[in-house]
Copies of this chain bind each other. A is one copy, B any other.
C-alpha cells in the first residue's frame, strides 16, 4: 500500500522541481526525499523518474502519478476537515437571531438544556439566518415574523418592546410614551449589534445620530455618565438591571417598536423545539 507521506513527497517534488527544494518545503532532509521517491517507484514497480547523474525529473508516468497523488492528498485533507467540522457540530448548538433581546432570555436556558454542549449564537439578517438554518449551520433561529412553511417548525416565543432610556433631566423623562418622530434628531448611545432594531430606529428617526458601541458594557457606562439618551427594552431592563440606575425608560408608542419573536427550526428537528418549550 502506498502511504500518504510518499504521495506528499511526490507532490512536493512535482511542485518544486528538485528534491532539495521539495525537502526544504517539507522540512525534512533531502536524502529522505530521494529515498522516498525510490521507495514509491519500488512499491509501484514502475519508473516515475528519469535520472541523470545529478538530475532527476518526472517521466510521463510520474506526472500521472503526481496528479493522482494530489487528488488523494486533497481528499485526505478534506476528510480531516469534514470530520472535525462534523464532530464540532455534534458538540455545539448554534443559534442565530435577528436581535440580541431574545438571546438574552434563551441562551441561559439552552446552556442548561444542553449541558454537555457548547452553545454559541450570532446576530444576523433574516436572509442569512434562513440560509444557514437550511445548511444546518444553525439548529434554531429567531425571527421577528412567523414562517408559514412546512419545511420549518415555528413557535411564537416572546415579545420585546423598545424604550428610550433617558436621565431624569431629559424632557422626555416625564412622558408616559414617546413616538419616534418626537425622539428624532437626538444623539443616541447604541449597542452596535442590535440586529433589525438598527434598521427600525434609523428609518424612523432619520435625523438622529447613533453612537455605536461594540462593547455592551460600555453602552451602560457611557449612558450613565452622559446626558445622551439610549435604548432599552422590557428584556434588557430585566436582564441588565444595573443599567437602569438613574434612568427613566419611556416606551415608544409606534407599532414598529414592538417585536414578536418566533423560534424556528427545520421540521426534521422538531424534537428540539419540544425540549425547549
Q: Is A169 an interface residue (CB 8 A)?
A: no
- Which of the residues B4, B8, B75, B84 comes within 8 Å of A71, measured between beta carbons? B75
In this complex, how many residues of chain A approach chain B with their Cβ under 8 Å: the count is: 29
Bound together, the chains give a CA A9 to CA B57 distance in angstroms of: 34
Q: How far is the CB of A57 from chain B (nearest CB, A)?
A: 16
Q: How far is the CB of A3 from chain B (nearest CB, A)?
A: 5
Bound together, the chains give a CA A78 to CA B44 distance in angstroms of: 12
Stretch from A60-68, A149-157, A256-264 at the B interface: A60-68
- Closest B residue to A68 by CB, please name it: B79
A–B pairs, 11, beta carbons within 8 Å: A2-B4, A2-B76, A3-B4, A4-B4, A44-B84, A46-B83, A47-B87, A61-B90, A71-B75, A72-B76, A75-B75
Q: Is A80 an interface residue (CB 8 A)?
A: yes
- Which of the residues B4, B69, B82 comes within 8 Å of A79, measured between beta carbons? B69
Q: How many copies does the complex hold?
A: 2
Chain A positions within 8 Å of B, measured between CB atoms, are: 1-5, 8, 44-47, 60-61, 64-65, 68-69, 71-72, 75-76, 78-80, 82-84, 86-87, 90
Provide the residues of chain B in CB contact with A69, threshold 8 Å. Answer: 79
B2→A5 contact, CB < 8 A: no
Provide the residues of chain B in CB contact with A61, threshold 8 Å. Answer: 83, 86-87, 90
Q: How far is the CB of A230 from chain B (nearest CB, A)?
A: 44
Q: How far is the CB of A173 from chain B (nearest CB, A)?
A: 56
